[in-house]
Structure 1
Amino acid sequence: MRVPTDLPSRARVVIVGGGVIGTSTAYHLTRLGWTDVLLLEQGSLSGGTTWHAAGLVGQLRASESGTRLVQYSGELYARLEAETGLSAGYKQCGGVIVARTEDRMTQLRRTAATADAFGLECSMMTPDEALSRWPAMRVDDLLGAIWLPGDGKANPTDLTMALAKGARQHGATVAERTRVLDVLVRDGAVTGVRTDRGDVEAEVVVNCAGQWAAQVGAMAGVAVPLHSAEHFYVVTDQVEGVHPDLPILRDPDGWTYFKEEVGGLVVGGFEPEAKPWVAPDQVPYPFEFALLDEDWDHFGILMDSALHRIPALAETGIRKFYNGPESFTPDNQFLMGEAPNVRGFFVGAGFNSVGIASAGGAGRALAEWVVEGEPTSDLVSVDLRRFGAYAANTGWLRDRVVEILGLHYAVPWPNRELESARPLRCSPLHDRLAARNAAFGSRAGWERPNVFAPAGTSPRTPYTWGKPAWLPWSAAEQRATRTGVAVFDQTSFSKYLVVGRDAEASLQWICSNDVAVPVGTVVYTALLNRRGTYESDLTVTRVSAEEYLLVSSSATTERDLDHLRRHVPAGHDTRVVDVTSAHAVLGVMGPRSRELLAVVSGEPLDDFGFATSRMLRVGRATVRATRITYVGELGWELYAPTETATGVYDALMAAGADLGVVDAGYSAIESLRLEKGYRAFGRELTPDHAPVEAGLLFACKLRTDVDFLGRAAVETARAAGPRRRLVSVVVEDPEPMLWGGELVLRDGVPVGQLTSAAWGETVGACVGLGYVADPAGTTSRDWVGSGSWSVDAGGAVHPVRVGLRAPYDPGNDRIRG
């Protein structure tokens, strides 16, 4: 590799880290025409984590965007040699995943259906069919398997070298043995880096430093939440029947995988409880092509499982034990994107043992983000901005990594909650709700009640693909909301104030809907990007002539704040302030909610119209009461100063006793909003979806002449007509349980996938939302309204009713009553 004798004093982009992610980003930047790229590696290329990766390239991911990203990786690796003269060692050998339990078989059937939805080849296999593809394994304890012919494997070091050569061929400079000592920042933007060979001025710095990414982030004042864990595999001597074309074998019930290597096997896995390494700020330097000590005791659970699956290993020698530390993030998704607090500082790190599979697509996506100034596809699940400052705590990260690594091969239960490093962020009502037997879930670190168990019953219930033990409790909460009154703790909502002389003008540009409204009016709106697709959806309440209150979902705080601040037009007197922790939120919902609030406020509230907001006395406190709903009933959200929240809650529950008031949780909200057809950001609304296909053009001010971000793209999409539509789905049979992700079929042909699903107590069956597309072209209303519709739920196909209107109260009579 060419090492420049003199380091350039300036580059348009400096990439820190010469592993597979850094070299992929450099390669793709140059392919996009940004040739003034300098890649800095503190040691030798691939010498950090990349070199000891197993090199698996599995193509199917949980989301379509993630799947497309990895598909591109395979396509790139296959053609790199022709372009650069260096092979990536890529071989499309296919993959076999086996199941020991019926729960795992259900997962595999769902996986096969997901592959159908994404257009990937995948087939179910019997144990004997699996044996024919992998003759060395034992199958007498298996229930079945799936075959993924598109899976492959790559040589991590060869891949890195090929990407680096491709980057250099297109103009990039690669400097090894060059350590970054500091990231230079002025006025909230990067200006370059300081290295042990001199300073380099730069417009953009991309942090691809792997396990050192937290340290590099700290140099710029940017939190990069990841933590290293020891990660193990062994390479065996030759095994009879093992050959270069042998598929990758995954035995997730035994936490193990197997890959051919020089006639032997790479045997690795993801043990249920990981072994953390040092804190992120203590990862040592130098640590090049280095391993940690062998730990056969910790590896024992994986080795025992491997011996069970591959009996020949009992007579096979071990060539090498690898214990290579690798970094993991708090939610098992990698970190990508521009830091919200430092312009021009990007991150691509924390790849959770899927770095080789992801590198091609991730490097392209990150390079496009740098060039375009925003993501070009749905990267919400990996966006650095999904975490707040809370996630940088090293003690919290260490506790979490113990659980995270093992989840790679755990059954991906649809309602699984992480258990480690909790509680972290609590509502002021947390202890009261815990005393009422709440089963808490966690969202963006917030503890939130999912459902309330009856007195004397444990709120902890086993996970299942079928109807869960807590479903009757949620059903009761749904009935209470539809027929009486329920109180929801929604304190975790993100809340922002937008203030200043130009607040209205700024929001008119940023928001798709018209927010030039009278004081006290509430507006539902999208935040779109230039492509006219969703960055968020939220409510905007005009508080005064120069002040607005914006309320958004719990998990989007940093993304929303960054989007708002980034798009305030230059020269505007507008400030965006995060006030999330200043207010608790209590949702008072149901046909008797007006009665309850009339009692605690002493006002009749007959003149309190829908989509309006005003101050209201509740007991001894004064709160902002906003008449709005996410459950499809008459209701109010009460925004109480945090210090008054317990008193407000107590007053509601005391006054509501005679009205049958109940506590209710987020599981009920999910069911109720789906019956009403309400969309959720991150599922129905993403950067890959637009208002036309989501059925939300009413929230775009197209009848005015007021321009807004994304308007031109929305108008173009409206003129072209939707190529897919969001539909409501109700299962004909009350027995099946849906969770979201199920394949949707029309006349037996796959045409889409459910984005969300839950039990709907009011309709008496499971209900969901999903996008469907006519393979013949534009998806018309007539096409949606005809044909025979069904969903594939874990391999069982069930008839469903499909429509463009909500199954419950499509005329909105309930919410306006």
Structure 2
Amino acid sequence: MVEKNVPDRARAVIVGGGISGCSVAYHLAKLGWTDIVLLERKQLTSGTTWHAAGLVGQLRNSQNMTRLAKYSADLYSKLEEETGLATGLRQCGSITVALTEARREEILRQAGMARVFGVEVNELSSSEVLALYPHLNISDVKGGVHLPGDGQADPGNIALALAKGARMRGAQIIEYTKATRITTKDGRVTGVDWARDAGEQGHIAADVVINCGGMWGRELARENSVTLPLHACEHFYIVTENIPDLAQLPVLRVPDECAYYKEDAGKILLGAFEPKAKPWGMDGIPETFEFDQLPEDFDHFEPILEKAIERFPLLADAGIHTFFNGPESFTPDDRYYLGAAPEIDGYWVAAGYNSIGIVSSGGAGMALAQWINDGEPPFDLWEVDIRRAQPFQRNRRYLKERVSETLGLLYADHYPYRQPETARGVRRSPLHEHLKTAGAVFGETAGWERANWFANPGQEREYQYSWKRQNWFDNQRAEHMALREGVGLIDMTSFGKIRVEGPDALAFMQRVCANQMDVAAGKLVYTQMLNAKGGIECDLTVTRLSETAYYLVVPGTTLQRDLAWLRRNQGGAVVVITDVTPGEVVLPLMGPKVRDLLAKVSPDDFSNETHPFGMAREIEIGMGLARAHRVSYVGELGWELYVSSDQAAHVFESLLEAGQDINLKLCGLHAMDSCRIEKAYRHFGHDITDEDHVLEAGLGFAVKTDKGDFIGRDAVLRKREEGLSRRLMQFRLKDPEQLLFHNEPVLRDGEIIGFLTSGNYGHTLGGAIGLGYVPCRGTGEPLADMLASSYEIEIAGVRYAAEVSLKPLYDPRSERIRG
């Protein structure tokens, strides 16, 4: 039944009545927002929610995503008592089995993560798998993991229960009413235009609009030039006829066969995440789509079914009751989108759930509602933050190509350093072909093609993935040692570059940055932008170009986030904030022999007296000009050369030619990362986030509270008075053969106390290096006591002894970068 009365005004309008929109409405209402309207174009759940498999798995790839999934499971268990609507939640547990040694290592690493995150987990032998899942063919099963707290539920009923809970608290849920346009004025949301099939239409004025439009969300966002990169894919499953005497079973995942199994009322639902998916809806989602199915494609599903019959022989005699094909939204990186769209104030997003929408939406709705209510996220949500999306990703051809791969990646081997294969080459440095000719093997980040390592002559230019030392390990070592002992050249054009200029530039930079920005022109400052809690919103270097102009360098992946943060905090400051990323190539030239090379290509003086550390100035190089920033992310003497894109090839060729006599080596991102982790330099998104206090991250040296007020100052002063509750520490494994990546459990005196935030191999230090936070035993525990403890790192269930340090294990006094 269509509700007749659509209000003229609401505090918040939610667009989309799937489980995501219903969860946001429910949680905003729980926070006391009574003036809420949810608009659903047809009936609630009629897009994707109604046909979801309803798996509720608690363990995700990070601590906070696991926190959200656990919240969802807990919420769904309580909804029936609150609303009277059954959610069908059954805590039947789940099993993931491995058919290869590589997969076994992966799931054992996941089990370690589960222990860190407080999720009950049991490691299983093949016979123990069979005991929990009778009738399974275990002839080639290498092992498994069991999560007893996992379960399954009825997705449609969960959404309806959330909707009822929202209504009980005053929200309006209006069906058969389509949001046709989100209206704006002066860069801010003003409301939503709506229409009905009968020709009725109107407008709701609103302060906040939340796009929960699922597979329709991208086109709705596009009307306002909001970047919401998602694309529908066909998702297949079958449901068998009743199988006699089939006991209740856990959810079973066999990722090596791209399959999952869900027992329900004596039937088996067999679903697939096939390696190459079928994108759907390239010309838009039909207006009439409501509880619809897509055409069957048995040929596409048959390879999955054939393996499933071998794996679970009972299927051979079971009839197929339903062959289902329905659309679901996928994103370029298999992570959903949450948060405030940077393009328009008051425009929020919760969409693109990549087939984990049921387990994600409860927690995502809670987190987004708190974010909207408080003006800041409840904890670090960068992994799913909408600000990670790049504007070019709105391109439909790009999305169609990429999501054909990302669906299958859900069950692919999640090897470290795995690179996407589709939709590549969109963003390239002007030096791309030069690097390619020199043997570069490229990775992709934020659309940028970046040289990760350089192949030797005759060596295959591709990744051979493994949990052990991959085929480029020795290449990385050679590049790493060139940076440490000789001279290396890296292309870091993917850095985000921002100019802030205007009469209020100094006052603005002083307010948003924690370090002292009132420095001489040409001075370079390492700093953070903090939030009100003292968490790190951005990690950057800033060069003062003139009295009224600053040049900011940020990670390429966080550029949109950082631009949004600056503009959000601009207030009345008279400044212009400009993204100038494409205009300049960045060439870090690093190593103890760097001055020898520069002397061959430039007449300028690079001595400490003329060009000290932390200074930028214009230099001549070859027949061109560059701005040379004396700074280092690898911990060696060096300069980052900023060269206009039109002169980049000439400067690069000049350096390469001059470097032949001193063994200049082209180096990739892997070598840069292994050098930075030896020096304990932080990496945003891993070691430091908006949830990590700047003092506990060990970056207090870059905070100047005596300069006057700035965002986060009060939180820094409070933390100094209260004392630290944890410290970011550096670890080195004593066994030189083992490797670290990130998320490995950290044990102190035999007990798990945290996990590694990042890891790589320290070729100079002779072992794997990791960074991770160690909680203090009581606020302000003396550092000596923390260092005196015994530490181990767990890798795939095995513990390895580690030494720990607060100071960098490599060049702790930073003498080399100032040499």
Tell me if TM exceeds 0.5: yes
Give the partner amino acid of 2:204.
V
Does the alignment pair 1:198 with 2:208? no
Does the alignment pair 1:208 with 2:212? yes
What displacement does 1:383 show?
1.0
Corresponding residue of 2:767: 765
1:425-460 Cα distance to aligned partner (Å, 9 max, x none): 000110000001111000100000011111121121
Counterpart CA distance in 2 for 1:584 and 1:233 is 48
8 Å Cα contact 1:181/1:193 also seen in 2: yes
Give the partner amino acid of 2:659.
G
Give the partner amino acid of 1:572.
A
Corresponding residue of 1:562: 564
Counterpart CA distance in 2 for 1:58 and 1:797 is 26
Corresponding residue of 1:271: 274
**Selected match of 1:230 from 230, 234, 241:** 234
8 Å Cα contact 2:80/2:86 also seen in 1: yes
What displacement does 1:754 show?
1.0
What displacement does 1:411 show?
0.9
8 Å Cα contact 2:499/2:579 also seen in 1: yes
What displacement does 1:240 show?
4.0
Q: Which of 776-785 and 653-662 deviates more?
A: 776-785
SS of 2:696's equivalent? helix
Corresponding residue of 2:596: 595
Q: Which of 772-781 and 455-464 deviates more?
A: 772-781
Does the alignment pair 1:8 with 2:7? yes
Query: What percentage of residue pairs aligned between the two structures are identical?
Result: 46
Give the partner amino acid of 1:78.
S
SS of 1:425's equivalent? coil
- The aligned runs of 1:157-556 (5 Å cut-off) are 157-196=156-195, 197-244=201-248, 246-279=249-282, 282-556=284-558
Does the alignment pair 1:627 with 2:630? yes
8 Å Cα contact 2:722/2:779 also seen in 1: no
What displacement does 1:3 show?
4.5
Corresponding residue of 1:575: 576
What displacement does 1:141 show?
1.5
- The aligned runs of 1:641-656 (5 Å cut-off) are 641-656=644-659
Does the alignment pair 1:678 with 2:681? yes
Count of aligned positions: 812
Corresponding residue of 2:89: 90
Give the partner amino acid of 1:61.
R
What displacement does 1:719 show?
2.3
8 Å Cα contact 2:622/2:651 also seen in 1: yes
Q: How has the CA–CA distance of structure 1 residues 137 and 774 changed in structure 2, closer, same or farther, with 3 Å as cutoff?
A: farther
1:643-672 Cα distance to aligned partner (Å, 9 max, x none): 111011011111121121110000001100
Give the partner amino acid of 1:592.
K
Counterpart CA distance in 1 for 2:314 and 2:622 is 73
Q: How has the CA–CA distance of structure 1 residues 779 and 251 changed in structure 2, closer, same or farther, with 3 Å as cutoff?
A: farther
Root mean square deviation of aligned Cα: 1.2
SS of 1:290's equivalent? coil
8 Å Cα contact 1:477/1:486 also seen in 2: yes
Corresponding residue of 1:123: 122
What displacement does 1:705 show?
4.6
Counterpart CA distance in 1 for 2:423 and 2:572 is 43
What displacement does 1:595 show?
2.1
What displacement does 1:218 show?
1.7
Q: TM-score, normalised by structure 1?
A: 0.98
Counterpart CA distance in 2 for 1:237 and 1:527 is 59
8 Å Cα contact 2:453/2:476 also seen in 1: yes
8 Å Cα contact 1:522/1:611 also seen in 2: yes
What displacement does 1:136 show?
2.9
- The aligned runs of 1:759-798 (5 Å cut-off) are 759-774=761-776, 779-798=781-800
SS of 2:163's equivalent? helix
8 Å Cα contact 2:727/2:776 also seen in 1: no
Q: TM-score, normalised by structure 2?
A: 0.98
Give the partner amino acid of 2:96.
I
What displacement does 1:76 show?
0.5
What displacement does 1:183 show?
1.2
What displacement does 1:747 show?
2.0
SS of 1:694's equivalent? coil
Counterpart CA distance in 2 for 1:320 and 1:723 is 55
What displacement does 1:380 show?
0.7
- The aligned runs of 1:608-619 (5 Å cut-off) are 608-619=611-622
What displacement does 1:737 show?
1.6
What displacement does 1:777 show?
5.8
Give the partner amino acid of 2:208.
V
Q: Which of 633-642 and 763-772 deviates more?
A: 763-772
Counterpart CA distance in 2 for 1:664 and 1:692 is 32
1:475-509 Cα distance to aligned partner (Å, 9 max, x none): 01111111111000000000000000001100111
8 Å Cα contact 2:97/2:141 also seen in 1: yes
Counterpart CA distance in 2 for 1:233 and 1:72 is 27
Q: How has the CA–CA distance of structure 1 residues 241 and 544 changed in structure 2, closer, same or farther, with 3 Å as cutoff?
A: farther
Q: How has the CA–CA distance of structure 1 residues 357 and 645 changed in structure 2, closer, same or farther, with 3 Å as cutoff?
A: same
Counterpart CA distance in 2 for 1:564 and 1:779 is 36
What displacement does 1:720 show?
2.4
Counterpart CA distance in 1 for 2:352 and 2:49 is 12
Give the partner amino acid of 1:578.
D
8 Å Cα contact 2:2/2:174 also seen in 1: yes
Q: Which of 604-613 and 131-140 deviates more?
A: 131-140
Corresponding residue of 2:62: 63
SS of 1:277's equivalent? coil
8 Å Cα contact 1:190/1:344 also seen in 2: yes
Counterpart CA distance in 1 for 2:400 and 2:133 is 38
8 Å Cα contact 2:340/2:346 also seen in 1: yes
1:285-306 Cα distance to aligned partner (Å, 9 max, x none): 1111000011111111221221
Corresponding residue of 2:669: 666
Q: Which of 473-482 and 135-144 deviates more?
A: 135-144
Q: How has the CA–CA distance of structure 1 residues 434 and 333 changed in structure 2, closer, same or farther, with 3 Å as cutoff?
A: same
1:682-736 Cα distance to aligned partner (Å, 9 max, x none): 000112211121111111112x151111111222223222222111111112111
Q: Which stretches in structure 1 are left out of the alignment for 5+ residues? A: none
Counterpart CA distance in 1 for 2:564 and 2:383 is 16
Give the partner amino acid of 2:285.
V
Give the partner amino acid of 1:588.
L
SS of 1:234's equivalent? strand
8 Å Cα contact 2:724/2:776 also seen in 1: no
Q: Which stretches in structure 2 are left out of the alignment for 5+ residues? A: 196-200
8 Å Cα contact 2:215/2:329 also seen in 1: yes
Counterpart CA distance in 2 for 1:98 and 1:777 is 42
SS of 1:347's equivalent? strand
Counterpart CA distance in 2 for 1:318 and 1:740 is 43
SS of 1:508's equivalent? helix
**Selected match of 2:814 from 809, 812, 815:** 812
Corresponding residue of 2:198: none
1:520-561 Cα distance to aligned partner (Å, 9 max, x none): 111111111122111110001000000000001110110000
8 Å Cα contact 1:494/1:554 also seen in 2: yes
Q: Which of 448-457 and 369-378 deviates more?
A: 369-378
SS of 1:599's equivalent? helix
Q: Which of 156-165 and 597-606 deviates more?
A: 597-606
Counterpart CA distance in 2 for 1:461 and 1:501 is 50
Counterpart CA distance in 1 for 2:782 and 2:311 is 51
